[in-house]
Amino acid sequence: MTAAPALAGSAVRLADISVEFVRDGKPFTALRGVDLDVADGEFVALLGPSGCGKSTLLRVVSDLLAPATGTAEVLGGPPRQARVARDVGFVFQDSALLPWKKVIDNVRLPATVGPRRSRQMTGLTPEEALALVGLTDAAGAYPSQLSGGMRQRASIARALVTDPRLLLMDEPFGALDEITRDRLNVELLDIWQRSRATVLFVTHSIPEAVFLAQRIVVMAANPGRVHEIVDVPMPYPRDVGLRETPEFNRIVSHLRRALDSQR
């Protein structure tokens, strides 16, 4: 950690990050002293009760929020640089599709906003991105005509057109039914394996975190901080059968105890 030899090794480096808000006139510490290192190409899940600062942490990484203390390094530079270069993709819980644009135009959005130099699309074409998430037939539909799962697929396609090296996902499947969620988890792993992007995935579902991630960052609230980091030493490609294995269940119960001990 100390020598910091190869810059290429880390996609995200957070050191002593604190974030303060003013809430009801009083200062409120949303994050305190967060250290986190995410390797290039790694899939890391952030797991914790609601209010522990998971979204806040993603906002720091995506340059939506400046930390009060500490340093954040994203893809070898300040978060701002990574954002302007469109190296960071963001997938929100409620898909954040623009209701007035057809699905295909939503996926094209990154090419139509921002400074010109940011608009150069290096990734998939919007059509390819839609095909990748299985939404080719829905290209001409409005978001209100899609199911929740299809909306999340569309929002993943929108994130993919910028060919992000870092994909931030804030409870992207949190509002979906379990069957859809399981299916999208498998699809997401497939996309991740092909793109080799780094993924930071926020969830408050323990099985989802274990199924997806190589490492799980367990967070605690009041103030938001890193409680424990758990490795998930199971090989990819993973499939739904993984959930039945003793190893999977061992990690799940370990995480459950870690989260319970916080109260």
Partner 1 sequence: MTTMSVTATRNRARAKSGVPFGRLLIPFAGAALVIALWELTVRVFAVPIYLVPAPSDVWTALVENRQILIDNLWPTATEAFLGFLLGNGVAILLAVCFVYSDLVYRAFYPVSVALRTIPIIAVAPVFVIMFGNGISSKVLIAALICFFPTLVNMVVGLKSVDPQTIELMKVLSARPWEIFFKARWYAALPFLFSSLEIAATSCVLGAIVAEWIGSEKGLGNLIIQATYDFRTPFLYAAMAVSSALAVAGVLLIALLKRLVVRWK
Ligand X SMILES: Nc1ncnc2c1ncn2[C@@H]1O[C@H](COP(=O)(O)OP(=O)(O)O)[C@@H](O)[C@H]1O
Of the pair 54, 83, the CB lying nearest ligand X is at 54
Q: Quick check: 68 and 21 in contact, CB under 8 A?
A: no
Question: What's the closest the beta carbon of residue 74 comes to ligand X, in angstroms?
Answer: 18
* Rounded Cα–Cα distance for residues 57 and 67 (Å): 9
Span 195-224, contacts to ligand X by CB under 6 A: 224
**CB under 8 A: which stretch of 12-20, 142-150, 178-186, 188-196 binds partner 1?**
142-150
Of the pair 101, 204, the CB lying nearest partner 1 is at 101
Q: Quick check: 213 and 232 in contact, CB under 8 A?
A: yes
Strand arrangement of the beta sheet that strand 225-231 belongs to: 88-91, 166-170, 198-203, 43-47, 215-220, 225-231
Query: Site for partner 1 (CB under 8 A): which residue of 4, 8, 64, 229?
Result: 64
Helix (H) or strand (E) holding 57: helix 54-61
DSSP calls for 146-204: S-HHHHHHHHHHHHHTT--SEEEEESTTTTS-HHHHHHHHHHHHHHHHHH--EEEEEES
Query: Site for partner 1 (CB under 8 A): which residue of 8, 9, 137, 253?
Result: 137
**CB under 6 A: which stretch of 50-58, 85-93, 116-124, 147-155 binds ligand X?**
50-58
Return the one option of ligand X, partner 1, Mg ion, none that residue 138 interacts with (CB less than 5 to 8 A, by type). partner 1
Tokens (6 digits) for 154: 């569309």
Of the pair 55, 162, the CB lying nearest Mg ion is at 55
The reply to whether 64 sits near ligand X by the rule CB under 6 A is: no
* Rounded Cα–Cα distance for residues 86 and 110 (Å): 9
* Rounded Cα–Cα distance for residues 212 and 190 (Å): 10
The reply to whether 54 sits near ligand X by the rule CB under 6 A is: yes
Give the x/- contact pattern for partner 1 in 20-49, rule: CB under 8 A.
------------------------------
Of the pair 58, 133, the CB lying nearest Mg ion is at 58
Q: Which residues form the interface with partner 1 (CB under 8 A)?
A: 59, 62-64, 83-84, 86, 88-90, 92-94, 96, 98-101, 109-110, 112-115, 118, 134, 137-138, 141-147, 150
